Amino acid sequence: MKKCLFILLCFLVVNVEAKTYYSNYGPLSTYTSNYIEESDTVKVLKKRKYRFYTNYLDGGYHKDSYSNINYPLINRNDFITTPYTPWSFNRQANGMKEEVQTVYYSKTDSKPIRYLYFYNFFANDVEAYLSELHFYNNGQKINYRLTCKRCLSDEAELTDNNVDTALKLNKNSYLIIDLYKYYDVDNFSISFIPKVDKKTYYQFDINISYDIDGNRTLFFKSYRKHLTQAMEETLTIDDFDAINPDLEIDNYSLEKTKDKIIEKKLYRYQDVLYHFYNEGKFYMDGYHEIGNDIYNIKAEDEYIDYYASKVRTKFEIDDIKITNKQQQIEDFVKSEVNYTYDTNMDKNKNGMYEILFHTPFMDISKVITVDIKENISESEIPKEDDEKDIETTDKLDKVTNDNNSYNDVDKTIYDPFLSETYLYEQEIDKLNEIVATQEQKIDEYKKRLSSIDNYQKIKVPIDNGVIKDKYYINYIAIMGLLLLLGGLFWIRKKSMQI
């Protein structure tokens, strides 16, 4: 009897292996050349980077004097010219192609003026006297500031229209005039009154300057005249010589006219640029997945593999079967994360219990089996005599036919087989349902077969040993399943009768 029951349990036992639960993968790490090994918790992505090179380097267009170690070769048949520089009064010695043009300006083409210098005074080779000095713009008097350097008398008022008062000057004296602001030269004029009381040769020089320091003379006038009495003299820009006028460069004329009398030369320049290059094998710095417009040839045998990874955590649970009170839930769990759990397990009472694990990425429900020998009373321990075997078999039969829950059975019966055979009985119930379903199918197939005059007429075409008739295959499968189920029930019935 025991042997038959053992065979039955071997057929019905369900092996439960440890199950592993995984979280989602985390973010992708940065790529590194260090190898990363893949595992069930580490997903590895690999990309390969190559060296790229070119056989030709274009150095662009440069002057003939250009020197660069990276582009030592020059193609003089391949050149371009730059646009001309703007016209300028200044000539350059830069090796560029030069174009020169002669143009003409009038004095009124000069930019506005502000500073004047009077110097080199003398009259009959002795001191000279100046009574009045006025400046006009479009006939309007201009206020000015006078600074007298090395004068032989105190500064006199030169704008009071009094010829009796005068400023005494000689060859070493000079006057600095600041008009306070700039005035156009074409409307500018000067009036002055030299003080003389007899026939006198009167002389002085005037510079119209670019700045207050007189470093650049724009216009120059040398006044020389024999005078017999004090009288007003007037000068306009036409009385001056243009020395280095600050001209408006675009106001020139290509022809000399009555007004356009200042001859100037204008210069502009153009460069000739030649093509520089290099030939050979030139590598792009570093390793790359793709090249660029210059370095576009891949060196297939020169590469580095880079690795990145995504990591996930796992939670692994074995089949939880408590067989002694020293065992803990943690003995059945392998976890890479912190977790908690809730359970109704009672180690003092054999049975099946629920447990709910809480992990950072999911909740997991499992079943705990408590099967501790010390929890079974001495009267419930099976003995070797046949009478006790019959009693145990009767209890097993009672459990099989009982539709109540396992918890109700657990309250009254504590057979050493029951803690495990409850699951087996559930499997038997499922098999019974399968048998009932298959019996219905058998009846249906019998009806189909009855329409055939002779079962032997069923053709089983074979091609290279493979049976192709699906109805015949189904028939064989059903009959085999029925034989297996019949054998199982026969064994169970015999075990109950012993």
Task: List the structure tokens of 217.
Answer: 């003379």
Categorize the per-residue pLDDT at 463 as very low, low, confident or very high, splitting at 50, 70 and 90: very low
Is residue 144 a part of any domain in this protein?
yes
Is residue 196 a part of any domain in this protein?
yes
Q: Looking at per-residue confidence, does 107 or 328 come out higher?
A: 328
- CA-CA distance, 274 to 66, in Å (whole number)? 9
Mean pLDDT across the chain: 79
Categorize the per-residue pLDDT at 235 as very low, low, confident or very high, splitting at 50, 70 and 90: very high
> Which residues touch 155 (CB under 8 Å, ≥6 apart)?
146, 148, 167
DSSP track, 98-142 = EEEEEEEE-GGGBPPEEEEEEEEEEETTB-EEEEEEEEEETTEE-
Candidates 26, 25, 29; CA nearest to 307 is: 29
Predicted confidence at residue 47, as pLDDT, reads 94
Is residue 94 a part of any domain in this protein?
no
Directed axis angle between helix 470-497 and helix 2-12, to 10°? 140
* Range in 15-19, 146-150, 287-291, 462-466 with the lowest mean pLDDT: 462-466
Distances (CA, A) of 340 to 337, 355, 361, 362, 364: 10, 10, 12, 11, 11
Residue with tokens 């390793």: 287
* 307 neighbors 44 (Cβ within 8 angstroms): yes
* Range in 159-173, 320-334, 381-395, 428-442 with the lowest mean pLDDT: 381-395
Is residue 238 a part of any domain in this protein?
yes
Buried/exposed 348-381: b ≥16 CB within 10 Å, e otherwise: eebbbbebebebeeeebebebbbbbeebbeeeee
Is residue 149 a part of any domain in this protein?
yes
Categorize the per-residue pLDDT at 165 as very low, low, confident or very high, splitting at 50, 70 and 90: confident
Q: Are residues 116 and 225 in the same domain?
A: yes
Is residue 148 a part of any domain in this protein?
yes
Q: Looking at per-residue confidence, does 449 or 313 come out higher?
A: 313
Q: Looking at per-residue confidence, does 337 or 377 come out higher?
A: 337
Its domain, for residue 148, covers 111-246
* Range in 54-68, 252-266, 464-478 with the lowest mean pLDDT: 464-478
Predicted confidence at residue 278, as pLDDT, reads 92
Categorize the per-residue pLDDT at 123 as very low, low, confident or very high, splitting at 50, 70 and 90: confident
Residue with tokens 């539709």: 403
DSSP track, 416-463 = TTHHHHHHHHHHHHHHHHHHHHHHHHHHHHHHHHHTSS-GGG----EE
Last residue of a domain, one of 197, 229, 246: 246
Query: Each residue of 404-459: pLDDT tens digit?
Result: 443 443 433 334 444 455 555 666 776 777 777 777 777 777 776 665 544 444 44
Global confidence as pTM: 0.41
Rg (alpha carbons) of the chain, rounded to whole number = 60
Predicted confidence at residue 257, as pLDDT, reads 84
Q: Are residues 137 and 214 in the same domain?
A: yes
Report the pLDDT averaged over residues 247-276.
86
> Which residues touch 395 (CB under 8 Å, ≥6 apart)?
413, 415, 418
Q: Are residues 299 and 177 in the same domain?
A: no
Count of domains for the chain: 2
Q: Are residues 154 and 204 in the same domain?
A: yes
Query: Each residue of 224-234: pLDDT tens digit?
Result: 988 888 888 99
Predicted confidence at residue 495, as pLDDT, reads 52
* Range in 84-98, 199-213, 306-320, 461-475 with the lowest mean pLDDT: 461-475
Predicted confidence at residue 131, as pLDDT, reads 87
Q: Are residues 213 and 130 in the same domain?
A: yes
Q: Are residues 163 and 282 in the same domain?
A: no
Q: Would you say residue 298 has pLDDT above 50?
A: yes
Q: Are residues 229 and 140 in the same domain?
A: yes
What percent of the chain has pLDDT above 70? 77
Q: Would you say residue 383 has pLDDT above 60?
A: no
Give the 3-state secondary structure of residue 472: helix
Last residue of a domain, one of 255, 286, 311: 311
Q: Are residues 196 and 137 in the same domain?
A: yes
**Torsion angle, CA of 148/149/150/153, rounded to 10 degrees?**
10
Is residue 143 a part of any domain in this protein?
yes
Q: Are residues 52 and 129 in the same domain?
A: no
Q: Would you say residue 493 has pLDDT above 90?
A: no
Q: State the CATH number of the domain containing residue 138.
A: 2.60.60
Q: Are residues 179 and 282 in the same domain?
A: no
Predicted confidence at residue 253, as pLDDT, reads 86
Give the long-range contacts of residues 408-413, CB within 8 A, separation 24 or more. Answer: 410/349, 410/350, 410/351
* Range in 64-78, 121-135, 388-402 with the lowest mean pLDDT: 388-402
Q: Are residues 227 and 286 in the same domain?
A: no
Q: Would you say residue 398 has pLDDT above 60?
A: no
SS3 content of the chain, % helix, strand, coil (to 5): 25, 40, 35
Is residue 419 a part of any domain in this protein?
no
Q: Would you say residue 365 has pLDDT above 90?
A: yes
